[in-house]
A and B are shown apart, each in its own frame.
Chain A
């Protein structure tokens, strides 16, 4: 017991004595913000991404590993709009890290900087997993990345004033490259305008808004509710009229429902990476959108 106590005490001392790292520790709730911080921070930041592209960001548990990483974070970057409401507040509270609680400079939410879509008229759990602030999957519109980048770069500079100039320079460079890329993607995606699609979960509202895709129906009867065969049949019946081109599903979602409908309606299932790391090509933000548009174009043929 004594030895155990000694070891414990030594561990605590060692942990406390570790000097503050020269880099900014960033805890990103979802991969897109992790990737964005890497673009903006370069070697000035060390990014930990709490979830991967194959996980449903709604349904994460406050795992010990997340609490441990939040404990050492200088900045937490989250989507907000209740996307992480089930786990992030608990992680932050349990970490005991006062610097990253909501309201502090160490807590950043992306949603307030973009125009939210699909704000529900009726707040009722009978409507499924609805978010009062609007649809939280804001990252599927490349323009939103730019909208978040500016305040995020400013926040990095605020937390790490010594490197403020570096963040500014990197942001400027990123903005330039990003604007060019957006113009490119928009040109490429021109044939997608007005293309009728199905989606599995209402995860692509911003993508549809950006590229002009036309969502005919969602396979989930209500957001976050598993599609039933009865509902899928109803969707299928609805499809007889408009010539739907494809059904979109995010990499993290089960393929059951989209496969069911694709087989019967003879349409293509397009599995989008949805976020950075969603497939081989989506290694960073640029790759994410390039791959997304290529897949959509292929699906629309």
Chain B
């Protein structure tokens, strides 16, 4: 500290005195002055340093005394401790905040802009990332108790195209007796197993095919949810939801009342210390109005379709986890699968080209299904390997009089995936996933994803 100060002083003085004035006497005088100033400053600095050292000593002494008091008095001192760190600013009440950053390098053999699943026309964000480098959705979450009766959570998603979406924004009543837990606002529905898990918590880069085909990725609505956990040793949870039903497979309805109903039951438990399981059944019912989509008709022309009617979805899900003695730290294994059935019936408008008047209204009925099975094995700390198989059955839709224009041939889209991921800590993960999709007849898409997931801030919950 001293050296730079005096060096700076010398430098400053050298610049102040022009060089031509420097005869021996002058130089001696300057030297004397510099020495004097240096000494003065050094004294001052030494004084300051002494004061600092004194202050530090006092602080350490105080800490030691405090520690001794605490240790000696034990309980009462410890009880007093939290009071001593009393909150002094409004920011002490800030909610828990976290951010999830994600990015991917995608290598796709087919154009992701033309991503389609034969026989299914979901809306929503289901196509893989664009080719090459891109960031994926970043997530920003805030949660805290509102008061002694309400807990609230806000999760925003920041899209790579710089738009912000409210992913979830809900309150939960926490003070009700009897194990009832009402939730209100916008939330991911708890149907199935994967639906209410955020994408960064998935074991694969993308959602299983049935989630893409039947729910457009994940189903969320603005509405109410009521969950109840039975007071039994075996886990049993019943839940019901009503909502606006504005998201796929529903549509915006511009009506009063309820747009979607959901019901589910989940059971689970442990078998010994090493095994645990959860299984459930769910139902989702909606009434879409003019759900519009584009479909290639039998003549190979893109046609505008609109469906109105009833859409009913049932899901059966299970997950089984194994970890030796329940200690997942070194090795663990997870097997999970879900089966989806959907029944839709109503009216379908076929519109090849409105201007020429080639439109046709007809009845429509379909029964479609799909499933996936995946398994992830952590073979050593931080390293996991997983495989997944998904398949859909388009069924043979009954197009009524639209059958003249539309191809109702059956085709079963399928996909094989494998992934390996490395977890740097609970907060960082890198994943390599390779998969082959056969979603359209005569078309194979080979995809490779290299993905990262980073979590900042509040500790994430270890959801089952």
Which of the residues B278, B381, B426 comes within 8 Å of A129, measured between beta carbons?
B426
Task: Give complex CA distance A129, B423 in Å.
Answer: 14
Q: Which of B172-180, B389-397, B435-443 contacts A (4 or more CB under 8 A)?
A: B172-180
Flag if B227 contacts A96 (CB, 8 Å). yes
Flag if A52 contacts B326 (CB, 8 Å). yes
Q: Which residues of chain B (161-183) have a CB below 8 Å from chain A?
A: 172, 174-181
> With an 8 A cutoff between CB atoms, is B48 at the interface?
no
Query: Which secondary structure dominates where chain B touches chain A?
Result: mixed
Which of the residues A60, A94, A112 comes within 8 Å of B78, measured between beta carbons?
A112
The chain A residue with its CB closest to the CB of B330 is A254
> With an 8 A cutoff between CB atoms, is A242 at the interface?
no
CB neighbours of B330 from chain A (8 A): 254
Q: Other CB < 8 Å A-B pairs besides A62-B462, A101-B174, A151-B75, 16 of them?
A: A15-B231, A54-B327, A55-B326, A59-B426, A59-B462, A64-B266, A64-B269, A64-B278, A72-B231, A86-B459, A93-B174, A98-B175, A112-B78, A112-B81, A113-B78, A224-B426
Flag if B75 contacts A56 (CB, 8 Å). no
Residues on B facing A (Cβ under 8 Å): 67, 70-71, 74-75, 77-79, 81-82, 148, 151, 172, 174-181, 227-238, 265-270, 273, 276-278, 321, 325-330, 381-382, 425-427, 459-464
* CB within 8 Å: A-B pair count: 154
* Shortest Cβ distance from residue B149 to the other chain A in the assembled complex, whole angstroms: 9
Flag if B233 contacts A68 (CB, 8 Å). yes
Flag if B82 contacts A112 (CB, 8 Å). yes
* Shortest Cβ distance from residue B463 to the other chain A in the assembled complex, whole angstroms: 6
Flag if A125 contacts B266 (CB, 8 Å). no
The chain A residue with its CB closest to the CB of B424 is A225
A-B contact pairs, 16 of them (CB 8 A): A18-B231, A55-B326, A56-B327, A63-B268, A86-B460, A90-B463, A96-B229, A97-B229, A98-B174, A113-B78, A113-B79, A115-B70, A129-B426, A147-B74, A225-B425, A254-B381
Task: Give complex CA distance A103, B327 in Å.
Answer: 30
Task: Give complex CA distance A278, B79 in Å.
Answer: 30
> With an 8 A cutoff between CB atoms, is A95 at the interface?
yes
Task: Give complex CA distance A87, B461 in Å.
Answer: 6
Flag if B67 contacts A129 (CB, 8 Å). no
* Shortest Cβ distance from residue B165 to the other chain A in the assembled complex, whole angstroms: 24
Task: Give complex CA distance A202, B156 in Å.
Answer: 37
CB neighbours of B327 from chain A (8 A): 54-56, 59, 252
> With an 8 A cutoff between CB atoms, is A226 at the interface?
yes
The chain A residue with its CB closest to the CB of B274 is A54
CB neighbours of A93 from chain B (8 A): 151, 172, 174
Flag if B464 contacts A63 (CB, 8 Å). yes
* Shortest Cβ distance from residue A161 to the other chain B in the assembled complex, whole angstroms: 19
Among B82, B268, B273, B462: residue with most chain A CB under 10 A: B462
CB neighbours of A90 from chain B (8 A): 461-463
Q: Which residues of chain A (128-142) have a CB below 8 Å from chain B?
A: 128-129
Contacts A64-B266, A96-B228 known; A86 to B461 CB distance under 8 Å? yes
Contacts A63-B464, A67-B235, A113-B75 known; A51 to B326 CB distance under 8 Å? yes
CB neighbours of A68 from chain B (8 A): 229-230, 232-236, 268-269
Task: Give complex CA distance A252, B227 in Å.
Answer: 35
Contacts A67-B235, A125-B427 known; A94 to B230 CB distance under 8 Å? no
The chain A residue with its CB closest to the CB of B461 is A90
* Shortest Cβ distance from residue B200 to the other chain A in the assembled complex, whole angstroms: 15
> With an 8 A cutoff between CB atoms, is A69 at the interface?
yes
Task: Give complex CA distance A177, B75 in Å.
Answer: 19
The chain B residue with its CB closest to the CB of A52 is B273
Contacts A125-B425, A224-B425 known; A61 to B464 CB distance under 8 Å? yes
Task: Give complex CA distance A248, B96 in Å.
Answer: 35
> With an 8 A cutoff between CB atoms, is A82 at the interface?
yes
- Contact mask for chain A residues 83-108; partner B; CB cutoff 8 A; 1 contact, 0 none: 00111011001111110010100000
> With an 8 A cutoff between CB atoms, is A12 at the interface?
yes
CB neighbours of B268 from chain A (8 A): 63-65, 68
* Shortest Cβ distance from residue B384 to the other chain A in the assembled complex, whole angstroms: 14
The chain A residue with its CB closest to the CB of B231 is A72
The chain B residue with its CB closest to the CB of A126 is B425
> With an 8 A cutoff between CB atoms, is A173 at the interface?
no
Which 7 pairs between the two chains have the least Cβ-Cβ distance?
A64-B268, A64-B235, A68-B235, A54-B325, A90-B461, A96-B181, A96-B179
Which of the residues B71, B79, B181, B267 comes within 8 Å of A64, measured between beta carbons?
B267
Flag if B326 contacts A54 (CB, 8 Å). yes
CB neighbours of B273 from chain A (8 A): 52, 54
Flag if A15 contacts B232 (CB, 8 Å). yes
Task: Give complex CA distance A61, B329 in Å.
Answer: 11
Task: Give complex CA distance A68, B229 in Å.
Answer: 7
> With an 8 A cutoff between CB atoms, is A11 at the interface?
yes
Task: Give complex CA distance A11, B330 in Å.
Answer: 39
The chain B residue with its CB closest to the CB of A146 is B74
CB neighbours of B176 from chain A (8 A): 96, 98
Task: Give complex CA distance A147, B425 in Å.
Answer: 34
> With an 8 A cutoff between CB atoms, is A300 at the interface?
no
Flag if A89 contacts B461 (CB, 8 Å). yes
> With an 8 A cutoff between CB atoms, is A23 at the interface?
no
The chain B residue with its CB closest to the CB of A90 is B461
CB neighbours of A16 from chain B (8 A): 178, 231
The chain A residue with its CB closest to the CB of B177 is A98
Flag if B464 contacts A226 (CB, 8 Å). no
Contacts A52-B325, A64-B278, A68-B236 known; A115 to B459 CB distance under 8 Å? no
> With an 8 A cutoff between CB atoms, is A8 at the interface?
yes
* Shortest Cβ distance from residue A252 to the other chain B in the assembled complex, whole angstroms: 6
CB neighbours of B232 from chain A (8 A): 15, 68, 72
CB neighbours of B461 from chain A (8 A): 62, 86-87, 89-90
The chain A residue with its CB closest to the CB of B179 is A96
Contacts A61-B464, A65-B269, A101-B174 known; A150 to B75 CB distance under 8 Å? yes
